[in-house]
Structure 1
Amino acid sequence: MFDLDTLLLGFSTLIIISIFIARISNNLGVPVMLLFLVIGMLAGSEGPGGIYFNDEEMAQHIGITALIFILFSGGLSTHWKVVKPVLLPSLSLATVGVLFTAISIACFTTWLFHVPILISLLLGSIVASTDAAAVFSIIGARNIRIKGSITPLLELESGSNDPMAVFLTISMIQLIQANQVSYLELGMKFLMEMGIGLAMGLLLGRSVVFVINRLKIPIEGLYQVFVFAAAFFIYSSTTMIHGSGFLSVYVAGMVIGNQNIVHKKNIFRFFDGMAWIAQIIMFLTLGLLVFPSHVLSAFKTELLISLFLIVIARPIGVFISLIPFNFNIKEKIFISWVGL
């Protein structure tokens, strides 16, 4: 058991190393999130760091907490006037696209590795969504400017597809564990979770705007603290009434970010920093959780599934979900590969 000083020293060292890595990642041409993950693996029990960590429940809690900050910050920086024209294709990508990506992965793993179809669907559901942290990081940190509506489309999709992936994953687990599950019931549950998440995001987002403009606190820093606490309140309260907490926190962030609020610039800067801290901690934790020897033992299987996801499954989901919309082949291919 480490003492507090050792824990703080190790934690701060990993954060500082990650910040320096983020600084040089653009020159290396490597996604910064991948480098954070590698740092975590090197710090783990099978790396030079020797930190033994296998608490999956704690890693899940850290990941959820980090994702709250990432999605809320992403919502704050999303301009409604920019994303409004791509609302429908983004929602199609976040739902239909994720579904067909998951189904494609399931068919591939069942056919090639003879895995039971429900287990394959569970795997597909887990990996089907794009990574909001990666998308926001790549587009924001590299100041990518893409002509047309591709950038807002990618940002809105990455911020809104996690609820679909979470729903599919939980549904597959229920199907595996239960003898009989009504597909109609699952469909109604999905609509209920999304509806509650959307409604709570709109309601609580507007409530935060109303309150923050009337607080009149003499201490400026407490405004950031208020919004910080509000993000957790929005997620947890929505989840407790069986809504999608991830959707609600993203929508609330978008509502707040598109309104005139006091100390708006400082609040934005605060959450931009918090989102970066959340991304670093989340990927470091995931890296610590990885045992390279276990990964290498199934490397060929993992590589085949990853290649299939990138080259075939994700493009299938994108091309099908964007059929009703006016995007050319080059744009669809680009959309297919971002965030993976």
Structure 2
Amino acid sequence: MSEKDKEYTIHLDSLLKTYSVKDITNLFTEIDKRLISLHNKSAEDFLQLNNSYKNIYHQSNHISDNIAIICNTANIDKNNSLYQIISNLYEKLKVQFEVLDYRIIVISDQLEKLSNHIRHIFFPIKSYSQNLMSLNYLIANLRVSLSYNDKSENENLESIYKESEKLIESIKIITDNITNSFNQLNKIAKSSQKRIKDLSGLNEMSLDSLLSEIQSSIELIDKKNEDNKTLIPSIKNKIGKLENSNTEIIKKLQYQDIIKQKMEHIQNTHKDLISELVEFNVTDLEKDKLNEQVKCFLRIRDISGLQAAQLIQANHEYQSAIEVIIDNFILIGDNLQDI
């Protein structure tokens, strides 16, 4: 070996001994420990986030399902159909109520006419009854006047008088019964007329109230239909945002596997480099061996720089994933509150 080669070898050997294979191995081992610690910590964070998300996911799904039912119930087309049905029923009911009012008025008028007819009939009957009484007095006077006539004739007349009195009494009983019946009928007519008027007043109040409530219901349905035209699309939009937030959270929760893969790749690279380093004999000063060892060290330097950049990027993505998950948690809460 020439002096020049010896000097080069000594220089390389000095360079290689700045960091021994053991030092580099220890550094890799320490880095691996920290990677494991970092992985465990991130796994714990993601596990907690995953558990929290499961609870939020079930609750938001439950709310979304209920909202879907409400939106289906509040379907504008269905409500329009219901609105038309109720409106048609309202118009038909209104017509029926008008017919009922008309019939009540007709019945009341007929009862009024009946009462007037009874009153008009009552006077002739009363006059007829008075005429019977007058006839009875006349017969009595005639009886007294003719009592001085022949006895046989008086007997014949007496028989006629008695028959006349019986007939007059029978007619009087009949006229009295007719008078009483007409009085009762008149009372019934007046009572029925009063009840009809009272019923008409009550019906008018009740029916007006019912029609007013139906009209209010129709107006309310119409207003809700108008509100639903803007409300339902807004709710569906928020449901869409909930689904987007859920999708984003699921994607970011899966990032834990990506972090794990990156760390495992770095650890496997360390194992390969350590295995390669141990093959070098520090006491071996042959030029080829030294050159190989230098190349190995340079490769370690380059790989370490690349891994450092990868870890920085992984850490940045990890922090970004956590922030995205938390932001979407907040968005889910805000959207659920708005709904």
- Could you state the TM-score of these two structures normalised by the residue count of structure 2? 0.16
Larger Rg: 2
TM-score by length of 1: 0.16
